[in-house]
Structure 1
Amino acid sequence: MTNLFLIVFFLLVGLLLQKLSFVPARLSEYLNTYLIYVVLPALALLYLPEVKLNLDLLLPIASAWISFFLSWLLFGFLGKHFSWPNSLTGCLIITAGLANTSFVGFPIVQALYGEEAVKIALLIDQAGSFIIVSSVAVVVASIYSTGKKRKRDISKKILTFPPFLFFVLAMGMNVFQIQIPQGLESILQLIAITLTPVALTAVGLQVKINLEAISSKFLWLGLSYKLILIPGIIYLLFSQVFGLEGLLFKVSVIEAAMAPMITGSIIAITHDLEPKLASLLVGVGIPLSFLTITGWYFLLA
């Protein structure tokens, strides 16, 4: 319960800072930059070289891919059946199909299950969510957007993203059994401690809820899939079909239950796929997910 309290506390700190006039308007951007360029690379170097690679890790990684492609299948079918605009269908596929497995996921997983769980979450995020949002999600956005289809250098985007570069470096260290020097490890541990307070404060700073728009049935359709249906599918599939147990199983379900990814909503917005709905799915989804994740946590206990 103490860990859940800390999660809520730092989220509220971010919400409170929104109301203070002396707080820099771009504080959330500064915090996100620190997370991307410092914390996420540090986590990769600290944890991934120690991960024992085995086939069991493929299932947690697969959870992110399952979530996205089931979203594409479901909302693609509903969009055709009910003759939704392509922009609406594309928005729901992308925003509901991608989980916030890093900025929200890492601190929550760390608080609930400890450092060992972060190692699993890193693999889910880097080998799952990040590659999807950088490649397949862009393809989906191009398919469903009404504007001119633009070719994008997806490989360049992936290879120049700092957390991914350090992910590759850390996995190389794992394969060749290269250890982090003790002095550097101490520094990385200090940086890792800042993950939960900084990430959740940044999320709190970015949460914007338009109370007039929360009556949208498409908002609740997308959030029902993201927060309830897909973690339920992962729960049943991994436990009943694949027999996954322990920490791998718990982290897979909890990460699948995360709110929609902020980056995913940005892709939808930049392709003019119902920008208001995309923003709302994140704005409502993040605070609401703290309640639903609590439910999944106690179910998994």
Structure 2
Amino acid sequence: MLNISLIVVFLLLGIFFQRFKIVPPNTSKYLNNYLIYVVLPALALRYLPKIDLNPELLLPVASAWIGFGLSWLIFGTLGKIYNWGNSVTGCLVITAGLANTSFVGIPIIQALYGEEAVQIALLIDQAGSFIIVSSVAVIVASIYSVEKKRKRDISRKILTFPPFIFFLIAIGLNVFEVEIGANIDFILQLITITLTPVALTSVGLQVKMDFDAFRSKFLWYGLGYKLVLIPFVILILFKYVFQMQGLIFQVSVMEAAMAPMITGSIIAITHDLEPKLASLLVGIGIPLSFLTLGIWYFIVA
């Protein structure tokens, strides 16, 4: 209960800082860089070498790919049928198809299920969400963008991204059964402790509420998919088709139920795919997800 309370406290703290302009406007950018380049690598090194790798863990990773693939199928099809236009369709595919499995997801999973669950959440984030947002999402954005972007070296972008590099290092340590020394582990622990306060404060600084936008049907299409439909699909698929249960099942559903990913919205915005809608899906989706996540938590318990 204390961990859940801290999540709410730091989220509200970030909103408070933003509302009264207590910190510089680019503070969230610096906090995000710290999370990406310091905390996520530390998390990988601390947790992944200890995880018991088995084929069953491929399913949680697959949940992120299923979420994005189904988003592309549904919104891509509806966009053509109802003539939404490429801008709206591309925005919904990308923003609703990617879950915030790191900045919001990992702190919540840690608070609800403990450190063992963080290992599973990290696999979903690094081998699922991160690779998708760095590769497939960029391709989708280029397809739906009015102004076609020049081809990028996507594989180079992935392989030179620090969290992914440390993800590979951590998996290597696991495979070769190399243990991290106590002193290094203590330093990693100190770094990972900062995840929840920094991540949720950063999210609070970036939340933008626009109550007039509540009338947008596309906003509710995207949030309905992200917060309700895709976690329901993962629940049915994993529980009744793959016969999964326990922690892996719970974390898979909960990560699928996370709000839209901030990075995904940034990709949509930079490709001029309905920037306001992309911002709203994140700005409204994150606060609303605290309610829907509570419901999903009791459903999968």
The two structures have a TM-score, normalised by structure 1, of 0.98
1:137 matched residue in structure 2: 137
Contact 1:210 1:280 in 2 (8 A): yes
Q: Deviations over 1:225-262 (max 9, x none)?
A: 00000000001110011011111001000000000011
1:253 matched residue in structure 2: 253
Separation in structure 2 between the aligned mates of residue 131 and residue 148 of structure 1, nearest angstrom: 22
**Equivalence map 1:98-247=2 (5 Å):** 98-247=98-247
Q: Provide the aligned length of Structure 1 versus Structure 2.
A: 301
Deviates more, 1:214-223 or 1:4-13: 4-13
Structure 2 letter corresponding to 1:37: Y
Structure 1 letter corresponding to 2:130: F
| SS state at 2:214 partner | coil
| SS state at 1:148 partner | coil
Separation in structure 2 between the aligned mates of residue 145 and residue 97 of structure 1, nearest angstrom: 17
**Equivalence map 1:76-115=2 (5 Å):** 76-115=76-115
Contact 1:234 1:252 in 2 (8 A): yes
Separation in structure 1 between the aligned mates of residue 252 and residue 148 of structure 2, nearest angstrom: 37
Q: Structure 1 residue 192: deviation in Å?
A: 1.2
Separation in structure 1 between the aligned mates of residue 120 and residue 21 of structure 2, nearest angstrom: 39
Q: Structure 1 residue 10: deviation in Å?
A: 1.3
Deviates more, 1:20-29 or 1:196-205: 20-29
**Equivalence map 1:45-64=2 (5 Å):** 45-64=45-64
Structure 1 letter corresponding to 2:73: L
Deviates more, 1:31-40 or 1:218-227: 31-40
Structure 1 letter corresponding to 2:104: V
Separation in structure 2 between the aligned mates of residue 257 and residue 62 of structure 1, nearest angstrom: 14
Separation in structure 1 between the aligned mates of residue 225 and residue 41 of structure 2, nearest angstrom: 31
Contact 1:111 1:196 in 2 (8 A): no
Structure 2 letter corresponding to 1:276: K
Separation in structure 2 between the aligned mates of residue 273 and residue 94 of structure 1, nearest angstrom: 10
1:20 matched residue in structure 2: 20
| SS state at 1:212 partner | helix
Q: Structure 1 residue 2: deviation in Å?
A: 3.2
Separation in structure 2 between the aligned mates of residue 217 and residue 124 of structure 1, nearest angstrom: 30
1:9 matched residue in structure 2: 9
Separation in structure 2 between the aligned mates of residue 4 and residue 275 of structure 1, nearest angstrom: 31
In structure 2, do the counterparts of structure 1 residues 252 and 24 end up closer, same or farther at CA, with 3 Å as the change threshold?
A: same
List alignment gaps of at least 5 residues for structure 2. none
Structure 2 letter corresponding to 1:8: V
Query: Equivalent pairs: percent with the same residue?
Result: 72
For the aligned residues, what is the CA RMSD? 1.0
Contact 1:102 1:125 in 2 (8 A): yes
